[in-house]
């Protein structure tokens, strides 16, 4: 998820209330770190804040600088070192590389409105902030700026308007996924259980997919437990490019499903029963299991315990190099 998207509901709420907000963004780092380049903290004039730039070891320092900007100090680009406040004999954290943090007032109204609209409608937008004083905001990817590229979120299509679909949709809000819940049954869609951000569609899912073709990074999960609905979905989705196509159900149910779908193109890549083996039984645990499998697939991981792996813990997206390498890379956040 892009840094701005993570904190924007907080920023927008304070903007509408007329309260000032300062943004602190991680724009460079020497060495490893707990948060990716582009991570954001938003600090409001009423003392509240959201977001983080590290695992917790620099946030207090950053908040102090942000509050100084709220009080009238100029925007600034500062170095911050994790453990910089420790005594010489105290051990420093492993992620002890210097961070470069850009601290500016939240964007002016025109830029704020453009960001809000782009996030609301899933439109592409480049947002730049000058790395030289006065660190002004711009709606472009100009040289000499830290650029965040907002891109449309990947779709997560949930077939079956069930309580599990509602829980998955709630969790997926933090995973940079645009949730679409499709069900031909009007009574199910009208339960009121779904988050406002989810798109609710009354349609047979195969018909909806015909008019809304899947893309490679989209995901489809059947949850209705009704073969008349789920099988039609899978026959439509499996031949397409979506990387993750999964079906809820027990192993016995899945064997029956495979027999019914025998001969369907792409059947070998159907993930069923959906999810990782967490052993959970409740709705929340089942939702976590399914989304954990999706996240692992997104990043090319197996879902094994971190202690058993050797790859970097966090799979960072690649960054586009800036025209001024002496400063730091531009950030590219693209989900397509």
pLDDT digits (tens, 9 = 90+) for 146-193: 999 998 999 999 999 999 999 999 999 888 899 999 999 988 998 889
Which domains are assigned to the chain?
Answer: 3-150 (no CATH), 154-303 (3.40.50.720)
Residue 335 has pLDDT above 50, yes or no: no
Name beta bridge partners: 154. 177
Other Cβ atoms less than 10 A from the Cβ of 223: the count is 27
Q: How confident is the model at residue 92 (pLDDT cuts 50, 70, 90)?
A: low
Whether 310 has a pLDDT exceeding 60, the answer reads yes
Contacts of residue 12, defined as CB under 8 A and 6 or more positions apart, other chains included, come to 112, 116
State the chain's mean pLDDT as an integer: 87
Task: Judge whether residue 198 has pLDDT over 90.
Answer: yes
Q: What gap in Å lies between CA 189 and CA 130, rounded to an integer?
A: 46
Task: Write the CA distances from 286 to 155, 162, 173, integer angstroms.
Answer: 20, 13, 17
Average pLDDT over residues 266-273: 96
Burial class (CB in 10 A: 0-12, 13-18, 19+), 145: buried
| Closest residue by Cα to residue 167 from 56, 66, 290, 33 | 290
């Amino acid at each position: 998820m892009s840094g701005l998207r993570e904190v924007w509901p907080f920023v927008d709420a304070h903007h509408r209330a007329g309260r000032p907000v300062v943004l602190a963004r991680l724009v460079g780092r020497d060495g490893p770190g707990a948060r990716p380049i582009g991570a954001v903290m938003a600090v409001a004039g009423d003392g509240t804040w959201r977001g983080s730039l590290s695992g917790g070891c620099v946030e207090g320092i950053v908040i102090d600088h942000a509050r100084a900007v709220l009080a009238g100090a100029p925007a600034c680009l500062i170095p911050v070192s994790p453990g910089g406040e420790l005594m010489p004999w105290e051990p420093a954290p492993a992620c002890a590389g210097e961070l470069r943090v850009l601290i500016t007032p939240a964007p002016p109204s025109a830029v704020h409105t453009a960001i809000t609209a782009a996030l609301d409608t899933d439109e592409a937008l480049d947002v730049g902030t000058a790395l030289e004083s006065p660190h002004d905001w711009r709606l472009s990817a100009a040289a000499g700026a830290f650029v965040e590229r907002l891109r449309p979120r990947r779709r997560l299509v949930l077939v079956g308007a069930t309580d599990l679909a509602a829980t998955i949709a709630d969790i997926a809000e933090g995973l940079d996924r645009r949730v679409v819940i499709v069900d031909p049954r009007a009574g199910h869609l009208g339960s009121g259980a779904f988050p406002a951000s989810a798109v609710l569609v009354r349609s047979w899912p195969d018909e909806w997919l015909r008019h809304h073709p899947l893309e490679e990074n989209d995901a489809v999960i059947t949850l209705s437990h009704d073969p008349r609905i789920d099988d039609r979905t899978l026959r439509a989705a499996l031949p397409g490019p979506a990387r993750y196509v999964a079906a809820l159900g027990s192993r016995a149910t899945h064997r029956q499903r495979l027999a019914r779908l025998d001969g369907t193109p792409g059947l070998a890549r159907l993930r069923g029963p959906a999810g990782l083996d967490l052993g959970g039984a409740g709705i929340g645990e089942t939702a976590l299991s399914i989304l954990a499998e999706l996240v692992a697939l997104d990043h090319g991981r197996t879902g094994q315990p971190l202690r058993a792996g050797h790859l970097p813990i966090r799979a960072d997206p690649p960054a586009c190099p800036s025209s001024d390498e002496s400063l730091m890379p531009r950030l590219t956040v693209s989900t397509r």
